[in-house]
Homo-oligomer: A and B are copies of this chain.
Amino acid sequence: MLRLFVTPQLAEGASVPLSADQAHYLARVMRREVGAELLLFNGRDGEWQGEISALSKNAGVVTLRAQTRQQVASPDLWLLFAPVKRAPLDQIAQKATELGVSCLQPVRTARTIVTRVREDRLMANAVEAAEQSERLDLPEVRDFTPLDKLLSHWSNDAPDRRLVFCDEAGDAEDARWGGETGRALPMTEALQPFRGKHHSWAILTGPEGGFNPKEREMLRGLDFVTPVTLGPRIMRADTAAFAAITLWQAVLGDLDKPFTKA
């Protein structure tokens, strides 16, 4: 059944207006008519089943019948990622949403080539992914920000939030990390000690060229940073992000929870 994200409140009997784009999509692309059933969610009131009670090519109303799922909170996990070219960037927004991040934060690092990020496009991809993957809320999309600026305000803006630094080849490339100080451990091992502790978290993944030595040194010196490795294969930027989110969800997130219907 079709699922759409809307912003109004959802409740039994409510008449929920659709956007012009949604009306066009339903009427012209999916060929739905008045009386057709669909599901709505708004990130606050769970998921509701309703039927189209009015539809033209640029407006529509859905009348709600019954709640199909209760709202559940997503884990508090930000993804800080160096944006890459367009197709992988769409993929990052979509799959990070499916994998359950609460915030998409594009960051500019030393080796980031992309100079401009369309945050509206990130959000459109996140909405599409949430609609198609049974997710009940959307990640927040933040503005493209320099990494060093974000880190210098970290303790004020995000007290008690820890940062997983995915530095895949770091230990292999830089002899300084041979010792124990700031050494990167495999991600699941590095996160185990934090089970049951009430931190919020963020994951940082780099651009195709990785992080430069200065960034590495700075990141590994910060007390809220946990440097990790992702195994013996160096993945592309988007793949590394998907793997890191999955592992975080398995160790500290909600992958042990079932999918539930009302």
Whether B229 lies near A95 (C-beta < 8 A) is no
Question: Residues of B contacting A95 with CB < 8 Å?
Answer: 239, 242
Q: From residue A164, how far is it (CB to closest CB) to chain B in Å? A: 14
Q: From residue A234, how far is it (CB to closest CB) to chain B in Å? A: 4
Q: Does A1 contact B (CB under 8 A)?
A: no
Whether B100 lies near A233 (C-beta < 8 A) is yes
Whether A231 lies near B255 (C-beta < 8 A) is yes
Q: A232-B258, A260-B172 are in contact. Are A243 and B134 (CB under 8 A)?
A: no
Q: Does A145 contact B (CB under 8 A)?
A: no
Per assembly, the copies of the chain total 2
Whether B229 lies near A259 (C-beta < 8 A) is yes
User: In the complex, what distance in Å separates the CA atom of A247 from the CA atom of B245?
Assistant: 11
Among residues of B, the one whose C-beta sits closest to the C-beta of A173 is B261
Whether A256 lies near B168 (C-beta < 8 A) is no
Whether B255 lies near A98 (C-beta < 8 A) is no
Of A27-35, A111-119, A182-190, A215-223, which stretch is located at the interface?
Answer: A182-190
A contact residues, range: 35 or more
In the complex, which of the residues B232, B255, B257, B259 contacts A254, with contact meaning CB atoms closer than 8 Å?
B232
Whether B236 lies near A133 (C-beta < 8 A) is yes
Among residues of B, the one whose C-beta sits closest to the C-beta of A130 is B233
Q: Does A132 contact B (CB under 8 A)?
A: yes
Question: Residues of B contacting A173 with CB < 8 Å?
Answer: 261
Question: Residues of B contacting A188 with CB < 8 Å?
Answer: 250, 255-256
Question: Residues of B contacting A187 with CB < 8 Å?
Answer: 250, 255
Q: Does A249 contact B (CB under 8 A)?
A: yes
Q: A91-B91, A188-B250, A250-B188 are in contact. Are A134 and B233 (CB under 8 A)?
A: yes
Question: Residues of B contacting A135 with CB < 8 Å?
Answer: 233
Name A79-108 residues within 8 Å CB distance of B. Answer: 91, 95, 98-100
- Interface-central residue, A134, A172, A246, A253, by most chain B CB under 10 Å: A246
Q: A246-B247, A250-B250 are in contact. Are A234 and B133 (CB under 8 A)?
A: yes
User: In the complex, what distance in Å separates the CA atom of A186 from the CA atom of B255?
Assistant: 7
Q: Does A76 contact B (CB under 8 A)?
A: no
